[in-house]
A and B are shown apart, each in its own frame.
Chain A
Amino acid sequence: MSNAKSRSATTADPISDFFAGLTEPGHIATFEREAATLRFDVDDGEHWHITIHDGDVSVTEQLLPADAIVQVSRPNFEAMVTGRLNAQAALLRGLMTCDGDIAALMMFQRCLPGPPGSTGTVEPLSSQAVMAQRRPQ
């Protein structure tokens, strides 16, 4: 199978980049002692088939059977692999559907990145500031 024809070979593709980044280390600790296959069917004719076995991850673009088959549009999948769309929210909202073993999808989403703006830091808040917020009560 070829990639979606519409994609230009010269522009960076976030989905290809994401899977390249995933398979480059080839081994992901959070997937140890786990086994599953899943396939993302993106728009028409684009497939990403992922095999997870005891921490080892391999990806092909072939239309192979899988434990979980996920339907998602290209813009939404791009948003997901770049951290702009949360997988669980997308599923609840109907932006993505999953046939088969949803546990495989839940496991897979652990390797998706967080939102681009998240820093993990926050300014401390003083006791005076907390008391001031509470004063009206």
Chain B
Amino acid sequence: MNNEVYIKIENLTKTFGPVIANNNICLEVNKGEIHAILGENGSGKSTLMNMLSGIYTPDSGVIYIKGKHVSLKTPKDSMSMGIGMIHQHFKLVEVLTAKENIIAGQKGSFFVGSKKLSEKIRKISEKFGLTIDPDKKIYNMSVGEKQTVEIVKVIYRGAEILILDEPTAVLTPQETESLFNILRKMKQAGSSIIIITHKLNEVMEISDRITVLRKGETIATVNKEDTNATELTNLMVGRAVDLSINRIEKKNNEIILNVENLTVVDDEKVKALDNISFKLATGEILGVAGVAGSGQKELCEAIAGLYPITSGKIEYKEENIVGKNPRDIIKMGISMSFIPEDRLGMGLVASMGMVDNMLLKEYQNQKGIFIEKKAAKDLSNKLIKKLEISTPGVYHPVRQLSGGNIQKVLLGREIESNPHLLITAYPVRGLDINSSYTIYDLLNEQKEKGVGILYIGEDLDVLIELCDRILVICNGKITGIAQATKVNKEQLGLMMAGEDMTTVMGVGA
């Protein structure tokens, strides 16, 4: 390996008000290296990368690129130094073609001949094994294709250092594999790649060296050969963590939720759910896997009475609840809890404190016109103790709490209502490892009490470990419902991409 240093960062510090996002960060990235930046949410990964790509200006510290002292004040400065950033949310113009997106915003590109351009794109594509159709419109592309366009775009603009922010979050396992192949080819061609992630298995698969950040500080830089997943986790969290999730055996099998031929259409009259049928039993965790936007949100909201249903049946304990709104459902005495994906936009009121948030669903059961807050205050204090929620006080706006604490407030409120059916969408999204495991434990506790749980997840490893069965959804259709113990990630990935379970797992599955 060539040991020429491409990027050298010394004592970089960045503060936001009283928050120190980065504190004396040091990092070295060599030519022809894939360097992973590993850290929990809030450890300062994104801040660091935003400084490298010229979006934030550091308070102090120095950045050297190829040994040259640089000051990156705008994304343009960064680009001209050969740094290309690929954001988690793609920055592409949907109605333009791949080619148009690649040249957009480039100086003088107006006069570049179309043929010459196509030729250049083709050359780049061939060199790194990227397959894109330059004339395809972005809105016709899959997530994987869009990502490829982003990569070609930054290479076309002369990037030799590629920064990828959580690139696999939206990809199926198969798409992830092909991304990794591209990255390996780029590395051989002498590019440096920085990949930001919190998925350990991917770090172990793709990177050469790993730098671990914790609470805004560099904890260590290690060679992949000299480490393992457990050690990395310990570095990341700061103490030993048990990484296994318990799967509690389910006891009784009474059907609590029966969904039959459910179809809903979205605003554009496209079927968001297409003829969905499944059953959920008490004391069972049914996982739902699928690429983001495959209909998970619509499924949850349809069951919770928040989404208009075109046709089909939703039975809760043999009672059809189609056409009922959340108020009716509460009044019917159905104890169903929906923990939405959008915590602060739907599940909680961001500017209110815990007390007022505890009242959100309960206040309607109070008599008279006045609102009684005493019970809600007691409940808040109880939850703070029980779930170790850290907040300056029960009246402190929940918006200002950390992601994990916000989720505990929401989940705590729902569990305290003693539901028989719990619907939860991405409950651990944005949470650090510790908080995630607390949430898994809470869900298992509910399962043991006989609650039926519909768990919309994104990490396939977790789905396989936590759930009893996994329902795979693709473009609003169910491609299969598999026993968690009898399915692996690759099979789930194929089903997420639209393959039917019978073809994936063979006849008889």
Physical interaction between A and B? no
Binding site for B on A (CB under 8 A): none
